[in-house]
Amino acid sequence: MQAFRPVTTHGADGSVAGLLLWYPSLDAGGRWLECEVDALREGLAAAPTAPIVGFFPDDTPSLDVPRLVSAAMDALADETVVAPLVPVNDAVKRVDGRRIVSTVDRSGLSRVRGPAFARTDAVLRVLGAARGGTIRPLVAVAAAEQIGRLDAESATG
């Protein structure tokens, strides 16, 4: 991916509520968002005061964006990365080679649907450590924040 199309969202008081980074849709393989570090830095520079950043593929269906950003803002008070989840309804099978071994209980399974959001400060911390090349920003942020929590817990325990 070469570039993002940044769009800011605003709260009722006119302040920047979030930065939405629209990107060309990924192929049908469903890969994680991977982008050039410089493109991500440029996209984030469009609204440096935005508390959250949303990653929206261009083929996202019509959404109530203000409501989605508000819900993401609330969820990001306690989390680092959030995304809408929907229950898995398709049959899921465990296989061994080409043989079906068992059916997987779907009651506890969900899949990510739609755009994902992260706290901007966490994305900026990850970018601060990146030299160049490409990055999977949501994966990197989640991994960096998880490592930070583990270090903090082990230091106090």
Domain that holds residue 48: 5-85+112-156
Average pLDDT taken over every residue of the chain: 80
Report yes or no on 57 lying in a domain. Answer: yes
The per-residue pLDDT for 152 is 38
The per-residue pLDDT for 51 is 92
| 4-18, 41-55, 91-105, 114-128: range with lowest mean pLDDT | 4-18
Report yes or no on 93 lying in a domain. Answer: no
The per-residue pLDDT for 17 is 82
Report yes or no on 131 lying in a domain. Answer: yes
Structure tokens at 1: 């991916």
108-147 per-residue burial string, b: 16 or more CB within 10 A, e: under 16:
eeeeeebbbbbbbebbeebbeeeeeeebebbebbbeebee
Report yes or no on 100 lying in a domain. Answer: no
Report yes or no on 98 lying in a domain. Answer: no
- Residues contacting 1, CB < 8 A, separation 6+: 23, 24, 33, 34, 35, 36, 39
Per residue in 74-110, pLDDT (tens digit) is 888 888 888 888 788 889 999 999 999 999 999 888 8
Strand partners, 69: none
pLDDT grade for 56, boundaries at 50, 70 and 90: confident
The per-residue pLDDT for 120 is 92
- Whether the Cβ atoms of residue 14 and residue 45 lie closer than 8 Å to each other: no
Report yes or no on 59 lying in a domain. Answer: yes
Q: How many domains does the chain have?
A: 1
- What's this model's pTM, rounded to 2 decimal places? 0.74
Task: Say whether pLDDT at 22 is over 90.
Answer: no
